[in-house]
Amino acid sequence: MHGMLDNLLDFIRKDGLSKQLEHSFLGIEVEEHRIDRKGRLSRNPHPQKLGSRDYHPYLQSDFAESQSEIITDPLSSVEDVMQQLNTLQTVLAYSLQNDDRIWPFSMPPALDESDRHFIAKHFDRPAYKEYRDYLIEKYGVARKIITGVHVNYSIPDSFFAHLYQHYQHDFESLTSFKNMLYFRITQNFVLHRWLLTYLFGASPIPEAGFFADASDPCWTHPVRSIRNSRFGYVNDSADHVNVTLYSSFDSFVSGIETAVEDHHLFGPAEFYGPVRLRGQERLNEYRSKGISYLEFRVFDNDPFSANGISRDTLVFLKIFLLYLLLAPVDEQNIEDKLKEAFDENDRVALERPDKPTFKQREGIVILEKMTKLVKDVGVADHDIFTVLQKFTDILAHPQLTPAARLLPFVNDGSLREKGVEIASAHKKAMIKSDALLPSLSNFAHQTQTLIFKSVELGIRYTVRKSQSNKEVVNLTSGEITRKLKLEDYKEITLDNSEKYLRELFPTLK
C-alpha cells in the first residue's frame, strides 16, 4: 500500500501545498532540573509564584519536584516557538527560589543516597502518586530523572484533506490516509534516529551516583548520548514493547494495548519509544479518529541554548520531517530493518563524540537529499540553506557536535563546574536584561508585564502586532477569552497586574 504514495511530491507541487507543509506546527516540551549554587539537585518545592500545576498550561513539574517542565503552544513559525519558549523560560527564571538555577544537561547532577531518598519521598502531586511509586519500584530514581526535550509535530488538516482527493480510491477514509502519512514519518524517524543522536546528542558522561548498582555499566570514556543509548530513558526488555512495534500502525497500537492488558506497562504513557502517536485518549481511538500529532522524544537538552533547544535545530527538524514524509518506506523485512536501526542508533550514541561516526557518509547523503528536496518542494530560502550547510559541516567535523564541545570541560569525570557556570550565565541573561521579557523586547513594557503575570498565573496568551502596528494580546482562562489592546492596560505594573487579571478572570484560582 505504501507504494501508492510514491507520487506525493508531484501532487504537492501540482496543488501548491508546499506552504502548508512550511507552516506545519511545532510544540516544545522542555524538562529541566533546578539546582542550587553548588550544582546539587534543589530541594526547594515547585516555585510558589506559579499557578497551580492542576491547570497550568505552560509551567509544570515532572517526576521529581526539582524537575520543571515547560510546554509551549503548537505554533507554525519557528520564530514564534522560540519567542514563546524564551518567554516561558524567563518567567521560570524569575520564579526560582533561594538562588536556584536551571541545570543545562539531560543527565542529572551528582546523586547520593540522600538525594534518591528525598526525590522518592517528596512529591506534591497526589493524583500521580500511585503511578510514580510504581515507576520508582520498577526503574529506580536515577533513570526517571533524566531530562530531555520533546517536540510535538502536526501538519495542517487542510493539507491532508486536499491531498486525499488524489488517493480516495486507495484508502477507506481520510482518517486512514492521514494515519498512513503520519505513520510513514514515524517509521522513517525511527529508521533515521541515529542522525539526530549524532547531531544533537549532548549527554556524554554520567555524574557521580547515576550508575550506582552493581549491575550498572562501568563507564570508561565519554560518548555522544547516554540518554539515547540502551542505558538511557528506555523500557525494560521484559516490557514486550521493543522497536518492532513500529513495523506497522496496527502493530504499534495493538502492541501497546497488549502490553498494558498483560500488565507489562502501567499504561500507554510508560511506553518510552522515540515517537509517540498523540491526540486520542484511548489507543483504539487512533483507528477511528486518527492521529492528531506526533511526539518526538529523542532530543537531549542543549546546554548551549538557554532555552534547552536552539532555533537552528527546529529549522533543521522541519526540513528533516518533510524529508521523512516524502521518503518511501520499504516494508520488506521491516522488523529486521527496525532492529538494525535500533542497534545502529545505540552504536552512534556510544561512540566517542570527537570521532567520526561510522554512518558519516550516509548522513552527508541524507543532507544532500534534504537540500535538493527543499528546492523541489519550493520552500528553499537562504536561511534554510545556511542551516543545512551548518549541519553538513557538523557531520564532517565531529568536534562541532554538542557532546564533543563539552569534552574540554570535563573535570575529574564531571561536568558540574561547567554546568553551574552555564546555569548561572543563562539565569543572569534572562533576569538582568533591560527588558522584562527579552524575546518580546519589541513590545511595550506594559505588554511584557501583562504577559509575564499571565504566564505566572497560568493564563494562556497570544501576542501580535496588527497591520497598523497596534499591539494585540489574547488571554484565555478556562472558557473565557479576552482580546486586549495596549490602551486597555496602559496603566499596568507588576504591582497591580495580578489584581487586573483577576478582575478580568473572576474564576481564576
Q: How far is CA 462 from the centre of its chain?
A: 21
Summarised one tens digit per residue, pLDDT across range 239-285 is 999 999 999 999 999 999 999 999 999 999 999 999 999 999 999 99
Residue 3: pLDDT band by 50, 70, 90 thresholds?
A: low
Question: What is the per-residue pLDDT across 358-414, written as a single tens digit (0 to 9) for each?
Answer: 999 999 999 999 999 999 998 888 999 999 999 999 999 999 999 999 999 999 999
Give 16: exposed, middle or buried? Use CB within 10 Å, 0-12, 13-18, 19+: exposed
In 65-174, DSSP assigns E strands to 67-71, 101-102, 149-154
- Say which residues have a Cβ less than 8 Å from residue 176's Cβ, sequence separation at least 6: none
What are the structural domain ranges in the chain?
Answer: 2-419, 444-504
Q: How far, in Å, CA of 285 to CA of 262, rounded? A: 20
pLDDT of residue 4: 66
Sorting pLDDT into bands at 50, 70 and 90, what band is 6? confident
Instruction: Tell if the pTM clears 0.75, that is, is over it.
Output: yes
Q: Cell numbers of 215, please?
A: 549491575
Output the nine-digit C-alpha cell for 424. 548561572
Among 290, 223, 220, which residue's Cα sits nearest to residue 253?
290
**pLDDT tens-digit map of 462-505:** 999 998 999 999 999 999 999 999 999 999 999 999 999 999 99
Calculate the average pLDDT of the chain: 95
DSSP tally for the chain: helices H, then strands E: 19, 10
Residue 1 has pLDDT above 50, yes or no: no
Which ranges of 329-473 does DSSP label H, i.e. alpha helix?
334-349, 360-377, 382-396, 402-406, 416-431, 445-457
Percent of the chain with pLDDT over 90: 90
Architecture of the structural domain at 2-419: 2-Layer Sandwich (3.30)
Count of CB atoms situated within 10 Å of the CB of 53: 16
Q: What is the pLDDT of residue 129?
A: 85
Per-residue buried b or exposed e for 85-111, using 16+ beta carbons within 10 Å of the residue's own CB: bbbbbbbbbbbbeeebbbbbbbbbbbb
Look at residues 249, 254, 245, 257 and name the one whose alpha carbon lies nearest to residue 181: 249
More confident residue, 401 or 22: 401
